[in-house]
A and B are shown apart, each in its own frame.
Chain A
Amino acid sequence: MSSIDLPSTPKPSLTGFVLPIVAVAGAFFGLVTGSAKDSTLLGLVIGAVVGAALAYALVGYMPNRRLGRWVAIGLFAAIGILVGGFPGAVAGAAIGAVMGWITYWLSTGAYRHNVPIYYTAPQVLWHNSYLFICGLVFFFLIAPILTIMPLSFNAENFFTFTPEMLALDPAGYSLKHYRDFFTNPNWQQAMRNSVQIAPAATFISVSLGTLAAIGLSSEHVPFRRPIMAILISPMIVPLIISAAGMYFFYSRVGLQGTYLGVVLAHAALGIPFVIITVTATLVGFDNSLTRASANMGAGPVRTFFKVQMPLILPGVISGGLFAFITSFDEIVVVLFVGSAGQKTLPWQMFTGLREQISPTILAVASILVVISIALLSTVELLRRRSERLRGMSPG
């Protein structure tokens, strides 16, 4: 790299740089396609050759980037039709889009656009690999969740992408699993239980957790750290241990197999989340406000509800949402502490998966994913609002 770089990046070498990398990308797609057709090695070689040829053709004869990319998409879609009909065409078009994009991204030097101009080649490589790894992590986290959503509209009673579904034939899709969820008494009972247990557990968690957090944040409480450690231990101790312990304890005191038992167990699991979020909000809380309030004649309870509570409310709500989701998604403890009369949605999904692999589970899972996204978005919006109110972020 020369000491005086011009703002326009130099064109990278075609044979020494662009061709090999596009060939590797092509080999990867070839490998995937090949293994689907039981000829892994052949797929690898053909993929590499096709990739290199594409890069050579596009860079050499297609200076117009947009046109070149459409040509790549069309070409691969055509190959896809030959190999695998309509689904093949879709997959081919996707591969073509990626290949075309990679070719131009490399050959025009666009891969350096987002890095400082003084970066050396290894640094640029690392920067792009880093983005690539992040993309992969994101993909592997999200892909399983996205896969279940189309499957939940399956017209069959199995977890199968039927040929009709892949051909986007409306006959391959159906809402019957959603209908089953809303009409089947087993699922409805589980839904009712979840909707009753989770808010009750959340209420207890929020009340006790907020009080604990306020107490633990005042300086004259002795042994604050050990008490804190004990209170958040349900979050750290493996669930199965808490669950087995609760099972034997609750059995002796007659709470096993009762709603109250499940609610208390879930409350214990939710309290740590409330303590942590509320403690975090209290860090920014100005204690002179409570003193001012006391000075003006308000008692501690009035001070709490009129002065402190409104200011720490975002922390309380987000803690409460975490406690709610904990109870709503929890399976291990409820399997031990509950009995069939208290079965919650996760319980029903668990036994359903084991005994009867029905896509109704996928329909429920899709609904729960949507609910979870809504709840977590609320948490995030509240967090931003609280930061904005306290002037911690310009947003």
Chain B
Amino acid sequence: MKIRTILLTTGAVLAAAPMAVAQDMADSMTIVSWGGAYQESQVKAYAEPYKKLHPEVEIVWDESSPEAVAKLRAQAEAGNITWDLVDVTAADAMRLCDEGLAMEVDHDEILAPAPDGTPASEDFGDMIVSDCFIPQIAYSITNAYRTDVEEWNGKEPQDICALFDTETFPGTRTLEKRPINNMEWALICDGVPYENVYDVLATEEGQDRAFAKLDTIKDQTIWWSSAAESIQYLADGEAVIGSSYNGRFFSAIVEQDQPLEMLWDTQVYDIDGWVIPDDLPEERLARVKDFLYFATDTQRLADQAKYISYGPARASSAPLVSTHAELGIEMAPHMPTNPANSKNAFVQNYTWWADYRDDLNAKFQAWLAQ
């Protein structure tokens, strides 16, 4: 009987229904993130303190960041935006911004200034790669290897080219199932200097050269599509060397005691941050802005680094980074931006990838299928 009543009511308010559901939404907020240890760090550093200040707010976490672009497109098409705040990589933020799916923001207006009064746009500096993008952390895609491989006879990989050196370091590799980073590493190990990588990669011959280099390890590589897979392969010993996000490696090595060692050489920096979906109803937008102002201030960003080894995006947060919340170890040496780790870092060219991404993705998938 009750269900029938509900059905009838629903039928009666067909046209007005979206409004009816949206009415009381300002006290609840859906935040989209990546799950795992990273989302956990956001919950502890941002959401829990925010809830202490505003106990009436209910925060729902949706682990859909990997398909954020596709899902936001579908939501916009269906006229039913259910997300309030979305955690995406810088490249995805650029795409969402170009397609008008993310809201353009004035960083100085909606974000807190640094404690010394520096406006947010200066505090974040170069990290603001798009008008829609509110930076959060700097992370890197880097490599790690197992420390217990007998066939290596006590040798340890010193640089990125160990990936391609199957003579000295035999065994299965695990790399991301995307051209990005892999193509750069292949060219660098084929003798291309850092500053020329993107010029070479822009040419047909350069791309063939990168694929030829990758060909040398293709039959010994397991391709991962989520970072958790890569850690699983390495921890299980199915792979002996491979790439993942530095925070995932930190968790496996320091928190889980796996026999792995970081290979920081030629780590590739990337940035991750928030976007606000376009066209949010007013009450929800107000709530999101309130949360965002709090969650991206200097102290909150520094707090996040207690839980995961990603560098805070604000310059003013760096001096506040302290020790791991449970293990009590210094976090600074585990940050990708630590001088010892970053001396050979490679700076990815976002704009280049924005232009070549679709084309190279198609070529890479075709190459994988060969």
Q: Is the CB of B37 within 8 A of A340?
A: no
Q: CB-CB < 8 A to A354: which residues of B? A: 35, 63, 66, 226, 228
B-contacting residues, A174-210, CB 8 Å:
186, 200, 203-204
Known: A159-B236, A257-B82. A341 touches B10 (CB 8 A): no
Q: Is the CB of B235 within 8 A of A158?
A: yes
Q: Is the CB of B82 within 8 A of A260?
A: no
Contact pattern, A 216-236, Cβ under 8 Å of B = 1, otherwise 0 = 000000000000000000000
B-contacting residues, A225-259, CB 8 Å:
247-248, 251-258
CA distance A186 to B39 in the complex (A): 12
Known: A160-B236, A254-B21. A356 touches B78 (CB 8 A): no
The verdict on B231 contacting chain A, using a C-beta distance below 8 Å, is yes
Q: Which residue of chain A has its CB nearest to the CB of B79?
A: A251
Q: Is the CB of B79 within 8 A of A340?
A: no
Q: Is the CB of A339 within 8 A of B228?
A: no
Which of B12-20, B91-99, B161-169, B350-358 lies on the face that meets chain A? Answer: B12-20
Q: Is the CB of A251 within 8 A of B30?
A: no
From A160, A247, A253, give the contact of B235 (CB < 8 A): A160
Instruction: Please give the distance in Å from B37's CB to the nearest CB on chain A.
Output: 7
B-contacting residues, A317-351, CB 8 Å:
339-341, 343, 351
Q: Is the CB of A251 within 8 A of B228?
A: no
Q: CB-CB < 8 A to B235: which residues of A? A: 156, 158, 160
Q: Is the CB of B21 within 8 A of A258?
A: yes
B-contacting residues, A62-100, CB 8 Å:
none
Q: Which residue of chain B has its CB nearest to the CB of A335?
A: B64
Known: A252-B78, A257-B82, A355-B36. A340 touches B61 (CB 8 A): yes
From A200, A204, A356, give the contact of B35 (CB < 8 A): A356
Q: Is the CB of A204 within 8 A of B30?
A: no
CA distance A376 to B53 in the complex (A): 49
Q: Is the CB of A253 within 8 A of B232?
A: no
The verdict on B329 contacting chain A, using a C-beta distance below 8 Å, is no
Q: Is the CB of A355 within 8 A of B35?
A: yes
Q: Which residue of chain B has its CB nearest to the CB of A350?
A: B63
Q: CB-CB < 8 A to A252: which residues of B? A: 18, 78-80
Q: CB-CB < 8 A to B196: which residues of A? A: none
The verdict on A357 contacting chain B, using a C-beta distance below 8 Å, is yes
The verdict on A109 contacting chain B, using a C-beta distance below 8 Å, is no
Q: Is the CB of A247 within 8 A of B74?
A: yes
Contact pattern, B 52-92, Cβ under 8 Å of A = 1, otherwise 0 = 00000000111110100000001101111010000000000
Q: Which residue of chain B has its CB nearest to the CB of A348?
A: B63
Q: Is the CB of B79 within 8 A of A356?
A: no
A-contacting residues, B206-245, CB 8 Å:
226, 228-229, 231-232, 235-237
Task: Name 15 extra pairs, CB < 8 A, besides A257-B82, A351-B35, A351-B64.
Answer: A156-B235, A156-B256, A204-B3, A247-B74, A251-B78, A252-B78, A253-B14, A254-B21, A339-B60, A339-B82, A340-B63, A340-B64, A355-B39, A357-B228, A357-B229
> Which B residues are closer than 8 A to A by beta carbons?
3, 6, 10, 13-14, 17-18, 20-21, 30, 32, 34-37, 39, 60-64, 66, 74-75, 77-80, 82, 226, 228-229, 231-232, 235-237, 256, 258
Which 4 pairs show the lowest CB-CB distances between chains A and B? A254-B17, A355-B35, A340-B62, A251-B78
Q: Can you show 13 pairs from A to B with CB atoms below 8 A apart?
A: A158-B236, A158-B256, A186-B61, A251-B79, A253-B14, A255-B10, A256-B80, A340-B63, A341-B60, A343-B62, A351-B35, A355-B226, A356-B35
